[in-house]
Amino acid sequence: ATPTALAVAAGRGRRLGILLRGPQVLETSRKIDTVVLDKTGTVTTGRMALREVATTTGVDTAQLWRRVAALEAEVDHPVARALVEAAAQRGQVGGATGAAATEVEVLDGLGVRGLVDGTPAVVGRRRLVAEELPLDLAAAFTRAEEAGATAVVLAWADSPDAAPVPRAVLVVGDTVRETSAEAVARMRSMGLRPVLLTGDNPAAARAVAREVGIADADVVAEVLPTEKADAIDRLRAEGHVVAMVGDGVNDAAALARADLGLAMGTGSALAVDAGDLTLVGDDLRAVTDALRLARRTLATIR
């Protein structure tokens, strides 16, 4: 009876938009008590757009967007896509056809740096820029984060051997998926504890958490991609059986480290490969569908 029940479960899963990677997935699913949710692209749509720009006085905005376009041209990240789009709307295109950056370094979970027109430039998290932010930029940064948005710093140097000077704060925002709050409520009703895990800043993370019904205590923010897997390990060390839901390249290690990795199929192929289970659509409610299906299938087998 077992292979038949599994085949039926697999078929039912497919109709629900769930691809199972093997029979052991069902057994693991039954024991899950904690569901770790990546924020960007999982709980939110991951389609970010520019919301605000704050600059220091006297900044040439054409130079500003030229640098953004050049640095972010080839980067596969929601923040990068929002900035590339904003730059294009202002007539600045990077990459092969436009402003090119050289010696580009994409720093996973931090930002990107390189040389634009031969001088150092960087865009990304605050800690990438050694120099203190001037007061007006710091204020814009704090305001954006408290509003739940993601703020990044743009800095560039005036000469090839100078250090980048912070000149702008670029604020991008994302929207929570319509189905995410309902999905979190369903997890709770199944006795599961949802945890939000993100590389984004704590204020933005808490704003999203509140919107979907996750307590501040269950928010783990400002984690680097490599630390995402550590956060999973920590929960497991506490005795929890952990499912991780993620969409991005950033999440592959954490997906692999969790007892059960659930990849949102709309994300990167890397995440899908790392998952035990793929959620084909963009609806987080499929998480509880998948876990319920697994529980029911096992009940049938026994």
* Residue positions annotated with a catalytic role: 38
Radius of gyration of the chain (CA): 21
Q: Where are the beta strands (DSSP E) in the chain?
A: 18-20, 34-38, 49-55, 101-107, 111-116, 119-124, 150-156, 165-173, 193-197, 219-220, 242-246, 260-264, 277-279
What's the CA angle centered on 286, arms 282 and 287, to 5 degrees?
110
Residue 123 interaction partner, one of Mg ion, ligand ADP, none, beta carbon < 5-8 Å per kind: ligand ADP
- Binding of residue 148 to ligand ADP (CB under 6 A): no
- Binding of residue 261 to Mg ion (CB under 5 A): no
Distance CA 50, CA 52 (A): 6
Query: C-alpha distances in angstroms, 249 versus 102, 240, 246, 268, 289?
Result: 23, 25, 9, 6, 24
Give the x-and-dash track for 229-248 against ligand ADP (CB under 6 A): -------------------x
Around 192, how many Cα atoms within 13 Å sit in the side-chain half-sphere? 24
Contact with ligand ADP (CB under 6 A) among 34, 198, 288, 297: 198
The interface with Mg ion within residues 141-200 (CB under 5 A) comprises: none
- Binding of residue 28 to ligand ADP (CB under 6 A): no
- Of the candidate spans 39-47, 187-195, 216-224, 231-239, the one that interacts with Mg ion by CB under 5 A turns out to be 39-47
Contact with ligand ADP (CB under 6 A) among 26, 123, 140, 271: 123
- Interface residues with ligand ADP (CB under 6 A)? 38-40, 72, 75, 77, 79-80, 109-112, 123-125, 150, 152, 198-200, 225, 248, 250
Residues contributing to the site for Mg ion (CB under 5 A): 38, 40-41, 248
